[in-house]
Amino acid sequence: MPSGEIEDTAGAPAPAPRDGDGPVGVVHPVVRDGDPVLHRPCAPVTVFDDALRQLEADMVASMYAADGVGLAANQIGVDARIFVMDCPDARGNRVVATVVNPVLKLPLLARRVTEDEGCLSVPGETAPVERAATAVVTGVDVFGEPVRVSTDGVAAVCLQHETDHLDGTLYVDRLDAPTRAAVLTAAGLAPR
Our CB check for Zn ion shows the closer of 32 and 56 to be: 32
Could you confirm whether 7 is annotated as catalytic?
Answer: no
* Smallest separation, CB 147 to Zn ion (Å): 20
Q: Catalytic residue, from 56, 117, 125, 162: name it.
A: 162
Q: Which helix (H) or strand (E) holds 150?
A: strand 146-152
179 CB neighbour count, 10 Å cutoff:
13
* Smallest separation, CB 20 to Zn ion (Å): 29
Our CB check for Zn ion shows the closer of 49 and 116 to be: 116
Is 39 assigned a ligand-binding role in the annotation? no
Alpha carbon 159 to chain centroid, angstroms: 7
Distance CA 134, CA 185 (A): 31
* Smallest separation, CB 1 to Zn ion (Å): 5
CB pairs under 8 A, 24+ apart, for 174-181?
Answer: 174/129, 174/130, 175/127, 175/129, 179/127
Is 28 assigned a ligand-binding role in the annotation? no
Amino acid at the residue 149:
V
CB proximity list for 44: less than 8 A, separation 6 or greater:
81, 101
- Which residues of the shown chain bind Zn ion in the complex (CB under 5 A)? 119
Our CB check for Zn ion shows the closer of 23 and 123 to be: 123
Q: Detail the residues annotated as belonging to a binding site for Fe cation.
A: 119, 161, 165
Query: Which residues carry out catalysis?
Result: 162
